[in-house]
Amino acid sequence: MAGALSGLPSVSLDEVLAEAALQVRVDRKYLVPIGTFVELVARLRDRFAVLEIDGRRSFRYESVYFDTPSHQLYRQHVQRRRHRYKVRTRSYLDSGECSFEVKLKSNRSETVKSRMPYSPADRARLTGPAREFLGEQLRSAYGTTADEGLRPSLITTYRRSTLVDPVEHARMTCDVGLRFLDAGKSIEVLPDTVLVESKTAGRAGLADRVLRELQVRPISVSKYCVAAALLNPDLRSNPWHRTVRLFTRPG
């Protein structure tokens, strides 16, 4: 992936935030073989720039997801509940920064993400202010309260590069080296594959149109739900069977 991105112009973090913060957005996700990814970037190079910070174009991420002991939040997603949410901390390991994030689904199937700064030392626990923040988001969006007993459930780690299209104000994240972990298990997934997420304000962007030309179709996938299904084989995962197989296919 680094080789494919080396020819793209760079963009700063401030420019990314100004052009395509997209806290309210439509996400489309794709599993892209590395050879197809190289062709995708070649077709996008006249429009897209890649985030670069201190000479780096690839950054280490760690997300700690929270759920109940009975995996209630996971079950809400499997059942396609209209009012469903995810809770996580996200750590940017190269910069040492961390945030607490709540992701909600709107009635129009948009992903609405809210975040607050968080101490990296607290990333594996819910502090009082984090619980208050979560409660505020749920009351405002759904008129509900948080599920009881939220605790660290699993961890995802990966490397991410971010591309920005200043014309359509769209963003594309590209993840490799995914690993899912819980207290007793660690699984590496997606060998020789890039998990691409196209993030737009609504309609399909240029990246989506090029991927369609390359015969790559969007898939319905949540890192958290796939990780939970792989790490907990006893959980019901009917909607994710095909996706789980894709995540664990040989390279």
192-207: per-residue pLDDT in tens?
Answer: 999 999 988 778 899 9
pLDDT at 22 > cutoff 60? no
Between 67 and 113, the higher pLDDT residue: 67
pLDDT at 29 > cutoff 90? yes
Of 43, 10, 27, the closest CA to residue 213 belongs to: 43
Give residue 57's domain range: 2-247
100-119: per-residue pLDDT in tens?
Answer: 999 997 666 667 889 999 99
> pTM for the full model?
0.88
**249 confidence band (pLDDT: 50, 70, 90):** low
Mean pLDDT, the chain, whole residue set:
90
pLDDT at 53 > cutoff 80? yes
Of 95, 99, 87, 243, the closest CA to residue 178 belongs to: 243
* pLDDT for res 251: 45
Check which CATH number belongs to the domain holding 76 and give it.
Answer: 3.20.100.30
What is the number of structural domains in the chain? 1
